[in-house]
Amino acid sequence: MRITRTLPIAVVAALALAACGGGDDGGSSADSDTIRVGALAVPAGDMLSYVAEELAEDEGLTVEWVEFSDYNTPNPAVVDGDVDANLFQNTTFMETFNEAAGEDLVSVGEVYLPRMGLYSNDYDSLEALPDGASVAIPNDPTNEGRALKLLASYGLIEVTEEPITIADITANPRNINFVEIENATLPQAVDDQDAAIVTAAFALPAGLGEDRMILAEESDSEYYNVLATTPELAEDPRVTTLYELLTSDEMDRFLQEEYQGVIIPAE
């Protein structure tokens, strides 16, 4: 079992909305007792709020979480110093960003798995999904490859060892028609297509629950989201303390109660 630090800790949270990539005018908090963390509202924003309100009192650390609504802007915000860390991505996504942007963001550690699932309004099992069905999947390289691996693990298709796009499908015996769509709009695709792959960060706010989930990732997934920051801040006490709180037993219980298995805490 993980043990939360025994020092009395107080964390005060402030919610700020980020404009298209940037955070607000506050800039980096490197020389203060404040840590600014970029996150999507669900579940990471809820987790950061819980840390602030329930887990820590009296350490003098202030946690401000800056809300983002897409996957494209939180990493540049860390690079630019608008936030000190972010909590929204898995290691593969971070490494893809680093390679494309020539940056060197690092993972402090795994925090939680936002289960990717296949959702449908019309079909309740993979067997019921008809041949030639239209299935929407994410169109970014990391999540598209992740979606293809998920479908391949259930035998719907066959793919190369490390798929990135639908071009890496090597067998499609049921002639599934894949529609590549921006991640944030996939919840709407559940209405428009026979089924859609949606990550938890977008499924939960849209009210997509297990009643419409045909299949989903399990706890052995490689796509746990991480607390990411710059190499210079990786050992910063504010960052390491926040990571300890995010992976505490109290947080485990919060995730289980709040999300009923849709979000899985890191072990």
Confidence at residue 260, expressed as pLDDT on a 0 to 100 scale? 75
Confidence at residue 224, expressed as pLDDT on a 0 to 100 scale? 96
Tokens coding 47? 């987790």
Alpha carbons 190 and 118: distance in angstroms, whole number: 9
The strand pair at 225-229 and 85-90 is best described as antiparallel
Confidence at residue 179, expressed as pLDDT on a 0 to 100 scale? 97
Give me the architecture of the 117-216 domain, per CATH. Answer: 3-Layer(aba) Sandwich (3.40)
pLDDT digits (tens, 9 = 90+) for 50-95: 998 888 665 677 888 999 998 899 999 999 999 999 999 999 999 9
Q: Which CATH superfamily is domain 11-114+222-265 in?
A: Periplasmic binding protein-like II (3.40.190.10)
Q: Is 123 exposed, middle or buried (0-12, 13-18, 19+ CB in 10 A)?
A: middle
**pTM (predicted TM-score):** 0.79
Tokens coding 255? 């995730």
Confidence at residue 28, expressed as pLDDT on a 0 to 100 scale? 55
Confidence at residue 8, expressed as pLDDT on a 0 to 100 scale? 31
Alpha carbons 14 and 36: distance in angstroms, whole number: 9
Q: In the chain, which residues have pLDDT < 50?
A: 1-26
Per the rule left: phi > 0, alpha: psi between -120 and 50, beta: everything else, 189 is alpha
Q: Which residues pair with 264 in a beta bridge?
A: 113
Confidence at residue 209, expressed as pLDDT on a 0 to 100 scale? 83
Sheet holding 34-40: strands in order across?
11-17, 61-68, 34-40, 85-90, 225-229, 106-114, 263-265
Portions of the chain given CATH number 3.40.190.10: 11-114+222-265, 117-216
